[in-house]
Each structure stands twice: as structure tokens, then as C-alpha cells.
């Protein structure tokens, strides 16, 4: 298993925690280009974010992991209390979007889904 460093390693490990796969035996590379070159040379299977993969030219086949592996991200601001009106509005929009996403995920995850499809 080859990972591309990008901050999602913990989320991937957690997603596979209830499987029989041991991801501790994998390696982590610094760039998506390195991971793609390793795949093109038949050196294993890789896990890479769609965001990173979209920046790299390749013709490798993809398998979507389902349910999707999620990771937490954060907003950072010197002071949310003293933030501009536009920043406060953006935070409110994100809160609303996040609540809608959680509701959709709960509805979608009622049944058991395969890890890959």
C-alpha cells in the first residue's frame, strides 16, 4: 500500500480499521507524481486524494472507495468574534452545508456498502 502524504493518512487508517488489511506495512511518499510513477511501474496499489490526483496527468484506472473516506478540516481566523460580516456569513453557510451533508450521509449509510466499487 502506497500513500501520498497529504494529511489524510489517519482518516484512511481509521476507515480500514475494521478490515483485515494491515496498512502499517505501507509506505508514504511526498508527492502525487511519485505515487503515480510507482503505480506505472507496477509497484503496488496507491491511495491518493482526488484533489491531488486531479493535478497529475495519468491513465491509471481508478476504484472509488465507498463509503467515502472523510477527513476534518478547519477554518482559521485571527478572531471569529471580530471577523468581517462576509467572514461571519461564510462561517454560517459552512455550518448549514455541514449539517445538510451529515443528514445526507446518515440517510445514505443506512445500508452496508462495500469498501470499493
The set of residues, in sequence order, having a beta carbon less than 8 Å from that of 47 and lying 6+ positions away, is 1, 2, 3, 4, 12, 65
Closest residue by Cα to residue 52 from 71, 66, 67: 71
Give dist(CA 5, CA 18) in Å, integer.
22
pLDDT of 28 higher than 50: yes
Q: What is the pLDDT of residues 31-57, one digit of tens each?
A: 999 999 999 999 988 988 888 888 999
This model's pTM is above 0.75: no
- Model pLDDT for residues 55-114, shown as the tens digit of each residue: 999 999 998 887 778 777 788 999 999 999 999 999 999 888 888 877 777 777 665 455
pLDDT, residue 117, reads 44
* Residue 26 · residue 2 · CB < 8 Å: yes
Distance, CA of 39 to CA of 33 (rounded, Å): 10
Nearest to 46 by CA among 73, 59, 27, 22: 27
Q: What is the pLDDT of residue 111?
A: 57
CA–CA separation, 1 and 105 (whole Å): 27
Amino acid at each position: 500500500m502506497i500513500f501520498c502524504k497529504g494529511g489524510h493518512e489517519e482518516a484512511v487508517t481509521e476507515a480500514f480499521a475494521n478490515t483485515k488489511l494491515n496498512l502499517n506495512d505501507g509506505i508514504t511518499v511526498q508527492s502525487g507524481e511519485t505515487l503515480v510513477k510507482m503505480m506505472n511501474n507496477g509497484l503496488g496499489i496507491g491511495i491518493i486524494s482526488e484533489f491531488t490526483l486531479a493535478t497529475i496527468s495519468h491513465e491509471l484506472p481508478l476504484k472509488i472507495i465507498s463509503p467515502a473516506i472523510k477527513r476534518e478540516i478547519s477554518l482559521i481566523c485571527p478572531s471569529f468574534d471580530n471577523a468581517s460580516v462576509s467572514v461571519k456569513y461564510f462561517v454560517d453557510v459552512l455550518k448549514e452545508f455541514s449539517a445538510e451533508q451529515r443528514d445526507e450521509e446518515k440517510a445514505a449509510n443506512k445500508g452496508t456498502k462495500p469498501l470499493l466499487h
